[in-house]
Structure 1
């Protein structure tokens, strides 16, 4: 079969042996694959990524000298089954799959491993247990976006944001845009998006951001129609004074029980939720400085460099930190159905499609945020430019 192989940062289209499904696995004919920002990182900084993955116990991330087929955003038609499968779908059925397989007890990340060929190819092997049929006639063009949109849904769910809280999305690349779409789907009433790119700002608005700002001309934290009640430390301290003065007017009242109840029920001013989707050194600390008191900072941007923060500033503002990556099978399935039932419209994200011979040009085009957001791959297409 034909596939796009990356080695030493260079892409070549080659004939390679077709993959064979092992126990519990399915063979798919690739209908669409998506190009992810992490694919761009994997091409440019494979050794750095391999070291990072190794530090958390995953030792199969490819290095620059390896030959690997990228592609972890997967949609395809069922072609065949390996042994020990339930054969859930008829041949030709359109499915999507989480990008992971395993041999015995050894897992591999599909498209990020020399041992697990990705979807930049005509065919791919996926795990049956991690595969889902595409419902409601959803097109492959949109079904393939289940994976990146599930990343956004996972970040939103990890944040535990309420509909009344204000969400700030800093950086409107693919991850930021996915988070905006999922915040909108979750009913969050105030979504503020910030990006330097006019094109990305327009996409943010289409996906559901209520306020979109250019950080060169406006501070996103001063652009909300619902300003935070606790913007500074003095305001926070004065809140305590005001509460105590009111409660102690009744001398015998057990006022301390009110504070215990607030803690147990997680009441009070819960602050804003800030999604960091830029992934460059210094961004986290700058958001700690700029965000309102009691904010929750969800780090979803993939920064590959060491970074520093001023902990005392985060302590003084009682900033909560969360780091978000990936999704679980339930989130993946729910995302697929949100796309299929129209709760989330991923169409604005897709800005181009290429065939296998156009992948190198697509990677170059994705370097310009004014041109493209998400480029898909159709192995049957002859397009060499997005």
Structure 2
């Protein structure tokens, strides 16, 4: 199969061996796959990510940075076949996505970060049939590829347990922060405050349901904003993933505040437990999406409750992956570039 793959910190395009499904595994032809910043992280810090997984336990421990792997975990594709002995509950020819985890056949891997289970930057994938989510008819491929990143934000929003008494503050308005805002809006939380350095991302935050969007260099998002009539945020969602963020949030958070850590920081963090204890803060570390979040994301996109169409930028073939990854971190980059290996 044709694929864009990562090897030794570089992106290459070429032919890879076609995957063969085992029991419980579906063979899927990729239609569309979103491009996530985690792929860019692997280009400059892949060995560190692998080493941290081996030291602390993590999904990337089985990767060899010097061997090729096909990334892409925000995918939609068409079922072509199943391995022998599989349940085959979704018909061949139907479109599917899934939580990007493979457990069938004795495996335990993240699809797109595995030498055995290629992701959506290639023409073919193997998916765990117990994880498959059948795509609604009428939901176009590029929007279906937004289900997984939206589901991550929905999971984070859900783990904050927002109530009608809360004022949520979302720090960082990339894809995950936008998903958190959409999830909070869906749950009826209001008002929602968003903070990001870049005006385009603040505009996008308002589109997704934020009531207030501020530049934290100009306005303290933890302060009593005029629009809040003297109140201030008490439920903080961190979606930046930079060293020092948790410490700064602890310093600025109000008494009895709640913090949901969604940003993926791979550096050691320093904080004052004294400050967090005195404020009686609750810190929740969010993880990846669960099947319920994927199902909600698909339904909300399909019925129009969450409009992810503004997320979608350029649509490229595998030959454009290297250039797109190099450009994806800028403030003017689209929320998601979409790869179609059939192009």
Q: TM-score under structure 1 normalisation?
A: 0.84
| Residue aligned with 2:6, SS | strand
Bigger Rg, which one: 1
Give the whole-Å Cα distance in 1 for the aligned partners of 2:164 and 2:86.
42
Give the whole-Å Cα distance in 2 for the aligned partners of 1:163 and 1:370.
34
Q: Shift in Å at residue 106 of structure 1?
A: 3.1
Task: Provide the residue aligned with 1:167 in structure 2.
Answer: 168
Match of 2:325 among 337, 355, 363: 363
Change (3 A) 1:59 1:40: closer
| Residue aligned with 1:376, SS | strand
Structure 1: gaps of 5 or more residues: 232-270, 382-386
Encode CA deviations 1:61-96: one digit per residue, 9 max, x unaligned. 424212111011110011111112222233321111
8 Å contact kept, 1:171–1:195:
yes
Q: Shift in Å at residue 220 of structure 1?
A: 1.0
For the pair 1:293 / 2:247, whether they are aligned, the reply is: no
8 Å contact kept, 1:70–1:120:
yes
Give the whole-Å Cα distance in 1 for the aligned partners of 2:121 and 2:204.
26
Give the whole-Å Cα distance in 1 for the aligned partners of 2:268 and 2:295.
34
Give the whole-Å Cα distance in 2 for the aligned partners of 1:98 and 1:228.
42
Task: Provide the residue aligned with 2:37 in structure 1.
Answer: 37
Task: Provide the residue aligned with 1:120 in structure 2.
Answer: 121
8 Å contact kept, 2:3–2:16:
yes
Task: Provide the residue aligned with 1:337 in structure 2.
Answer: 299
Task: Provide the residue aligned with 2:111 in structure 1.
Answer: 110
Task: Provide the residue aligned with 2:92 in structure 1.
Answer: 91
Task: Provide the residue aligned with 2:177 in structure 1.
Answer: 176
Q: TM-score under structure 2 normalisation?
A: 0.95
CA RMSD of aligned residues (A): 1.7
Task: Provide the residue aligned with 1:50 in structure 2.
Answer: 50
Task: Provide the residue aligned with 1:245 in structure 2.
Answer: none
Give the whole-Å Cα distance in 2 for the aligned partners of 1:163 and 1:348.
28
8 Å contact kept, 1:60–1:114:
no
Task: Provide the residue aligned with 1:352 in structure 2.
Answer: 314
Q: Shift in Å at residue 126 of structure 1?
A: 0.4
Task: Provide the residue aligned with 2:149 in structure 1.
Answer: 148
Change (3 A) 1:224 1:326: farther
Match of 1:225 among 224, 227, 235: 227
Task: Provide the residue aligned with 2:27 in structure 1.
Answer: 27
8 Å contact kept, 2:158–2:183:
no
Task: Provide the residue aligned with 2:159 in structure 1.
Answer: 158
8 Å contact kept, 2:99–2:290:
no
Structure 2: gaps of 5 or more residues: none
8 Å contact kept, 2:80–2:93:
yes
Change (3 A) 1:140 1:164: farther
8 Å contact kept, 2:72–2:119:
yes
Task: Provide the residue aligned with 1:249 in structure 2.
Answer: none
Task: Provide the residue aligned with 1:73 in structure 2.
Answer: 74
Mean Cα deviation higher: 207-216 or 61-70: 61-70
Q: Shift in Å at residue 103 of structure 1?
A: 4.8
Change (3 A) 1:90 1:348: same
The size of the alignment, in residue pairs, is 341
Mean Cα deviation higher: 319-328 or 335-344: 335-344
Give the whole-Å Cα distance in 2 for the aligned partners of 1:26 and 1:197.
41
8 Å contact kept, 1:228–1:272:
no
Give the whole-Å Cα distance in 1 for the aligned partners of 2:240 and 2:229.
23
1:119-268 matched pairs, under 5 angstroms = 119-222=120-223, 223=225, 225-226=227-228
For the pair 1:305 / 2:267, whether they are aligned, the reply is: yes
Give the whole-Å Cα distance in 2 for the aligned partners of 1:217 and 1:109.
40
Task: Provide the residue aligned with 2:11 in structure 1.
Answer: 11
| Residue aligned with 2:180, SS | helix
Q: Shift in Å at residue 117 of structure 1?
A: 1.0
| Residue aligned with 2:227, SS | coil
Change (3 A) 1:4 1:328: same
8 Å contact kept, 1:111–1:118:
yes
| Residue aligned with 1:353, SS | strand
| Residue aligned with 1:190, SS | coil
